[in-house]
Structure 1
Amino acid sequence: MNSISFSRVSVRVAVDGSETPKTLLHDCSLDLPERRIGVIGANGSGKSTLLRLLNGLVQPSGGTVLVHGDDTVSAVRRVRSNVGFVFTDPLSQLVMPTGREDVELSLRRSIKNSKERAARADAVLDRFGLLHVADQSIYELSGGERQLLALAAVLAVNPKVLVLDEPSTLLDLRNRELLRRTVAGLDQQVIMSTHDLDLALDMDRVLVVESGRIVFDGDAAAGVAHYRALCATALDDLPLGKAPQ
């Protein structure tokens, strides 16, 4: 079963000082077989919650999420072996002093022999054009190099699905384009949330999330147009230009 499915999934969290939990995602049912899927919406709309359900970082309060037939709650270890997750800020997931060490750490479980692991790490770093900075401190790298390094460390173990949570947020134009080309060339299924609507237009399918609900699901161009219309409506409702009372 090479697909991802949500069956009536909801996510609720407790709120301090309130007896009523806050709902982050409402009764969501989806089947996601496409190779490239974009998720767009305003900050706080529920995009990250949706993505984090895919590898068990968030568990559903109701319903089920299946990744290639595996339940993200009862089979979370198997799910995480198949789903690689790249966060917005690469420094939140790069834990070793250098890129080489970080990629080798990712490979430690799958490759026990240290020489084989080092050779595989070099091959991964070379694939992403990072071999020449492999032994530099991660704090000496550019934002684009860090993001590519985080991507390389995740892809080193060859997951079936790659989840990217707003990966271009911290990138300049050149590094954003590098990320775009890199993602386009990957074999993995890619599910990506983004505020970059040009990146969203590269997708085979786009989901628009608003207030914890999927309010559009379909063609990328139509999805971006729908989101633009939502934003325009929200701006029209603001009392812009009015003097404070």
Structure 2
Amino acid sequence: MTGRGPEHLRKTTNVVLDALVRAAEQALHGHAIDMRTLESLVAELKESTAFDDFYHRSYREMMEVVEGESIEQRRTNAFGRLMMHPLSGLFSEDRLDRGLVPNIFSFLRMVLGDEDEAQHAERCNAIVKVLRDDLGDSFSWDAFYDDPEAKAIQWHVLVKIAGSFKRYDLRKDWFIKLMQYRPTTVSLASNAFVTKEHSPYDDPIQFGEREFCMFFHAMFDPLQNLDRKDEAAFQKEFGTDPHHLIGGFLVNLAACMV
């Protein structure tokens, strides 16, 4: 966790403490304060509606901090980075809404299941550890993306995703609706969640047919542009090439205009 959360809590608390000091100054006019008066002022502040807007705003800001750290934690997780890497250009160019990230991870979990996702994450973390030990300060995430075992993990996930689109049109409609969803909870851990409020003025997440096409063209680019070395590695891993393995999905994707 970064310092943003504690700093926000400190800021919120300081506002309330400052309000208490001002209330005491107005009530006592420079006289010394006694415990009964202090307790009375605190009780009034607890019930005061003057802070309602402030508390609602602070809550929304805190949820933004929590969600931001949750997304960053997932993104910097080795497996998360591996799967998000093909999409990085779309996010950096603002062609896809970054608010999609939690939904993308939910989609991966739905396709893979908790056990497979955990196994992939464990393997990716192990690869990164070896690379960091070997490369030291020269380590980069590109070295991880280029690692043969990491590529194989990514290929297996993409093959499983393609397999989940056997009923392509129905699955596409479902996926678009999933991406448009604004989560009402933020995951802090596998079994810990906090509720997230949404303002009625929030714009809906923009994700339709065009975004669907951009998303999957980018995500499956690693399989559609294999060099000879990777083609041989894929053939060895799966016993065939991508077009024979997931050709139906790739044909549908080819007809999907960006």
What's the TM-score bracket when you normalise by the shorter of the two chains? under 0.3
Q: Give the number of the structure whose alpha-carbon radius of gyration is greater.
A: 2
- Going by fraction, where is strand more abundant, 1 or 2? 1
**TM-score in terms of structure 1 length:** 0.23
Structure having greater relative contact order (Cα 8 Å, sep ≥ 6): 1
- Going by fraction, where is helix more abundant, 1 or 2? 2
